[in-house]
Amino acid sequence: MATQANKQDHTGDRAERAAVEGDYDAVVVGAGFGGLYALHRLREKGLSVIGFEAAPEVGGTWYWNRYPGVRCDVPSLYYSYTWSEELRREWRWSEKYAARREILDYAKYVADRFRLRDLLRFQTRVVSASFDEASGRWLVRTDRGDEIRARFCIMASGALSVPNSPKTPGLESFRGPIYHTARWPEQEVDFSGLRVGVVGTGSSGVQAIPLIAEAAKHVVVFQRTPNFSVPARNRALQDEDFKQFDAAFPAYCESLASPNAGRVNSSAFEAPIPSRDEQWRRYEELWQEGGGGFLLSFPNLLTHEAVNDVACDFVREKIRQIVKNPKTAAALSPSGYPLGVKRICVDTNYYETFNRDNVELVNLKEEPLEALTADGVKTSARQFDLDALVFATGFDAITGALFAMDIRGRNELRLQDAWAEGPRAYLGIAVADFPNLFIITGPGSPSVIGNMINACEQHVDWLTDCIDHMRAQDFRIIEPDPAAERAWMTHVAEMAERTLFPKADSWYLGANIAGKPRVFMPYVGEGYRHRCAQIAARGYEGFRLT
């Protein structure tokens, strides 16, 4: 899509530099929270390591996502690394849910504090990585002519980093600027006095729409599927919050490694079905508290329709109470899929925004979007004249960034071909036929279902310990046994099937991308970390070490 954002050169001028060549122990692709920690840990273990990052700065998806209202939906005290006590003491978040700017500052602080920038080549995109059988090394090439060899290749390219840009007919004919939330320009976009169309009502749209509506003359929201959204009730953090967090921190870290930790744990299948009254009371408490903690209301919320249906009713009732126009309220009310199985949105004044005179909701289920024209958007029923358009249409999640590179394993096998019927990765971290390649938060690991920053840390700790073990035992190659990989992916699928997750067309399933195999990618079961630790303790059970 020729959007305003990628028409401009976001990465600025690329400073001249000589191409890098040579041999390293490890290469890290991406300088988001996974890549930064991987660089730190690998260097700490005494490995020679180099990192490549397409952006001119660290931060990963937080570098590129600059749309109005962008902030994290995980409380900032928890959306933080746990691996450095010093870092934890030094960094002080200002708000319960940090805005993008502060998260980016945190990533920059980490890069400076731990001297990671020297290891990184910025404004450099990895274009290919291929495994050379003879030397047992990866040959990695970039768009700046770098050619490096490395024993280990660590893909920290992100689960939500490649924008999904629908190929809407007439895209090139629209006269105004087109923005994508995941590739927003660096300079502030001034919508004042403009008629703005927003396509998409996931987390990004739900955050952006209220602020665009405050600035613009008129906003038309093109909604295909309404999402469940809960209020964030964001606020400044107080000393008391830090005290409470410090007290809870050791138990929190312990809980991450517990055999029961996970989005859905075994208690879900044993817990009684709470009465409607009990549920209503609990949802009201959590609604007032604000945030995605709503999903922690009952252990069987994501496994039992009888429970989930009440939660859906509760949110729909809230929408009816907030949105004055009954037709708009009905159109904003999700139905036909359970709450929480598409990522729940966490908003500030989202539903309230539809009470504004300058905001209009278009239900694309009733009048599908047919094309862009020079003047705006044409649905099957009407033409909407617009000055600017925003696509808040999400990402090609989990596999998108990997497929954007030409990754080849044994016998030139392309990752795309290996995953033609859906991604497969043992523990979501390593792939049969792709030796010594590690994917941070890959398909088959909890990744996007939990706290991404903690998920990245766990993968980095696991893979660096694995590399340590290999060096100590003089192993050169590690790769999953295909049978172990198959068994793991079967388990991932079975766990998802025991829940309500597959009952919605979500990006977890690849349903948002035409032609993408419909495979539920994240691991929703319990004890993932515990299992990874056990597998390591048993000499990397299910892996072949040679």
Instruction: Tell me which residues touch ligand N01 (CB under 6 A).
Output: 72-73, 160, 166, 181, 199-205, 207, 224-225, 343, 346, 364, 369, 392-395, 448, 507, 512
User: In sequence order, what are the beta bridge partners of 545?
Assistant: 478
Q: Which residues pair with 360 in a beta bridge?
A: 220
Q: Provide, rounded to whole angstroms, the least separation between the CB of residue 96 and ligand N01.
A: 13
User: Which residue's CB comes closest to ligand N01?
Assistant: 202
Secondary element (H or E) of residue 425? none
Q: Toward ligand N01, which CB reaches closer, 346 or 456?
A: 346
CB 233 within 8 A of CB 289: yes
For residue 74, the tally of other CB atoms under 10 A from its CB is 18
Nearest residue (CB) to ligand N01, 67 versus 462:
67
The single-letter code of the amino acid at 421 is E
- In whole angstroms, give the CA distance from residue 183 to residue 61: 9
Cα–Cα distance list, 416 to 54, 136, 380, 517 (Å): 21, 21, 36, 11
Task: Indicate the residue among 35 and 291 with the shorter CB distance to ligand N01.
Answer: 291
CB of 224 to ligand N01, least distance (A): 3
Half-sphere exposure of 231 (CA within 13 A, CB side): 18
* Nearest distance in Å: CB 166, ligand N01: 3
Name the minimum Å distance from CB 184 to ligand N01.
Answer: 11
- Coil, strand or helix at 537: helix
**What sign results for the dihedral spanned by CA atoms 73, 78, 83, 88?**
positive
State which residue, 274 or 334, has the beta carbon closest to ligand N01. 334
- Longest C-alpha distance within the chain, in Å? 69
Tell me the one-letter amino acid at 200. Answer: G
255, burial (CB in 10 Å: exposed 0-12, middle 13-18, buried 19+): exposed
* CB nearer to ligand N01: pick between 195 and 342: 342
- Cβ 68 to ligand N01 shortest distance, Å: 12
Instruction: Give 27 or 182: the residue with its C-beta nearer to ligand N01.
Output: 182
Looking at the Cβ atoms of 42 and 230, the one nearer to ligand N01 is 230
CB of 415 to ligand N01, least distance (A): 23
Between 152 and 391, CB nearer to ligand N01: 391
Q: What's the closest the beta carbon of residue 467 comes to ligand N01, in angstroms?
A: 30
Amino acid sitting at position 396: D
- Residue with Cβ nearer ligand N01 (308 or 393): 393
User: Using CA atoms, how far apart are residues 409 and 432, in angstroms rounded to an integer?
Assistant: 9
DSSP H helices, 142-238, are: 203-215
DSSP-H helix ranges across 372-509: 400-403, 415-418, 452-473, 482-497
Rounded least distance, CB 67 to ligand N01, Å: 8
Please state the closest distance from residue 290 (CB atom) to ligand N01, in A. 13
Distance CA 392, CA 219 (A): 14
In whole angstroms, the minimum distance from the beta carbon of 124 to ligand N01 comes to 25
Residue with Cβ nearer ligand N01 (286 or 467): 286
Q: Are the CB atoms for 35 and 28 separated by under 8 Å?
A: yes
Q: How far is CA 208 from CA 194, 223, 504, in A?
A: 15, 14, 23
Residue type for 475, please?
A: F
